Structure 1
Amino acid sequence: MSWRNRAVHTVLGAVANRGFEVHRHPATRRQSMLDRHRIDLVLDVGAADGGYGTGLRAFGYTGEIVSFEPIAATFAQLGEVTASDPRWSARNLGLGAEAGSATINIASNGFSSSLLPMLDAHIDAAPQVRYVGEETITVSTLDIETAALLTDRRPFLKIDTQGFEREVLAGGAATVEAVLGLQLELSLVPLYDGGMLIDEAVSWAYDHGFRLVGIEQGYAAPTGEILQIDGVFVRTDTEA
């Protein structure tokens, strides 16, 4: 073994002894999948402050992004991120089963805000995160918002709506038929009242012609228990 390889093994061993593991970032695998399927449009539902889109750009995605974020203050932060990117647009909307308005619960950390009540499992895992207010938001549907976007495109759908995924999908039947892949938040335990759990979400995906090709860790409790993961799916009949 060369001195260089010995040095690498020494470093990896020291990292492992402290409970960490060095491995390929899951976003690199996701980007390989986007490249393979020639994705040129990402629908970013539940964009928050733009972290998902920023990650896409960091790992090499150069196509169009359309982000949806309903909370006014968070949307303002998102706008600062998208302002310098001509291929990334943002809409100040929530998405659901039908168009209208709704009251969203604002969480202290912003990212846990939801249209659904937060359950004890979430509070126990992160006692510092609580609902601190409410805001009336405008709600549209995926199919309304994508009607003029999907012609001659190869779209990918990401939904991160803190338990509200079922309703977003219910308002996007035509969109779901058009997308070549999707990323869904998969809850292993109930975190929001009425939220879709992993068994329902995966079954829904397979029933609609998708298969699971990647898993990305999402939310874990201080005990080490993983509460949420993200699942990346592609169509079973998609040709690269």
Structure 2
Amino acid sequence: MGRFAQEFRSLFDKQYRRAFRNLRHLPRMDYRFVIDAGANRGAFTDAFLRLHQPERVVLVEAIPELALKLHERYAGDPRISVVAAALSDRIGEAKFEINRSEASSSLLPIDPRNSGWFGRDLGVAHSIMVPTTTLPEVMKRENLERIDLLKLDLQGAERFVLSGGAGVLEGVRVIYTEVFFEQLYAGAWLFWEMNEFLSGRGFKLCGLSNIVHAADGDLVQANATFRRATLS
């Protein structure tokens, strides 16, 4: 669907309009093979499927209950598969912290300052052990030779995924990822560190969206879109 047709449809379809608004910063191209890491309840994939017609979408989710719900939700769609694991830099098992705000759960310890930055309790509720896997392993398991869109919403664990998957990044065309301007999680990359890493591997920053400020007005996080510099 062309850009004009998308904008025209957004005038009449409320759900489509919301999806178009949230994902408008993605480069204009065909997205055939997609990985949604940190899929949570499937909101990103739902929005993406309203705008694009991929051949394959692989959802990766660490929280077992959410992964099961994703399996059930998309069971009737042969394009979609679900990996119940935390995407990281190694295959094995790791402690995963379930925070009081479920969406902030992570492989990394959350900084206690988050509660002050966001004005609500974001502390740890409990921890569980989860299986871990890597980007190369997911690509191998799902028979993906390339990835048109790699979406990362891993609450700081993006560092593990990208560094551990550096050998296959040449097969990735676009990365849509959460970035931090404050140390929200112990050991997480800050924006400039991720930008430096990806620019050194042939990616170019092409957009920032969903910018979030702390209660005091300071910039704390956003979603960043990186595309391969040679992308036509």
Shorter-chain TM-score tier: 0.7 to 0.9
Aligned partners of 2:133, 2:96: CA distance in 1, in Å? 14
In structure 2, what is the equivalent of residue 77 of structure 1?
69
Residues 75, 220 of structure 1: CA spacing in aligned structure 2 closer, same or farther, 3 A cutoff? farther
Q: Pick the aligned partner of 2:214 from 211, 218, 221.
A: 221
User: 1:150-173: CA deviations, max 9, x gaps?
Assistant: 33x452211111111111112212
Q: Which has the larger radius of gyration?
A: 1
Deviation at 1:136, TM superposition (A): 0.4
Deviation at 1:227, TM superposition (A): 1.1
Find the residue that maps to 2:204 and give its secondary structure: strand
Aligned partners of 2:53, 2:215: CA distance in 1, in Å? 33
In structure 2, what is the equivalent of residue 58 of structure 1?
50
Aligned partners of 1:57, 1:145: CA distance in 2, in Å? 21
Q: Pick the aligned partner of 2:148 from 155, 160, 183.
A: 155
Structure 1 residue 146 corresponds to structure 2 residue 139 = yes
Q: Give the counterpart letter for 2:71 in structure 1.
A: G
Identity %: 27
Aligned partners of 1:223, 1:80: CA distance in 2, in Å? 41
CA-atom RMSD, angstroms? Answer: 1.8
Aligned partners of 1:226, 1:88: CA distance in 2, in Å? 35
Structure 1 residue 182 corresponds to structure 2 residue 182 = no
Q: Give the counterpart letter for 2:130 in structure 1.
A: I
Pairing 1:121-132 to 2, within 5 Å after superposition: 121-126=113-118, 127-132=120-125
In structure 2, what is the equivalent of residue 9 of structure 1?
none
In structure 2, what is the equivalent of residue 115 of structure 1?
107
Find the residue that maps to 2:186 and give its secondary structure: coil
Q: Which structure 1 residue ranges, 5 or more long, are not aligned?
A: 1-23
In structure 1, what is the equivalent of residue 38 of structure 2?
46
Answer whether contact 1:166 1:196 (CA < 8 A) is retained.
yes
Answer whether contact 1:121 1:190 (CA < 8 A) is retained.
no
Moved over 6 A (4+): none
In structure 2, what is the equivalent of residue 205 of structure 1?
198
Deviation at 1:214, TM superposition (A): 1.5
Deviation at 1:61, TM superposition (A): 4.1
In structure 2, what is the equivalent of residue 11 of structure 1?
none
Q: Give the counterpart letter for 1:238 in structure 2.
A: L
Residues 50, 193 of structure 1: CA spacing in aligned structure 2 closer, same or farther, 3 A cutoff? same
| TM-score, structure 1 as length reference | 0.81
Q: Give the counterpart letter for 1:72 in structure 2.
A: P
Aligned partners of 1:206, 1:119: CA distance in 2, in Å? 27
Answer whether contact 1:28 1:59 (CA < 8 A) is retained.
no
Aligned partners of 1:155, 1:164: CA distance in 2, in Å? 21
Aligned partners of 1:111, 1:61: CA distance in 2, in Å? 27
Name the stretch that deviates more: 225-234 or 59-68.
59-68
Structure 1 residue 27 corresponds to structure 2 residue 23 = yes
Answer whether contact 2:25 2:225 (CA < 8 A) is retained.
no
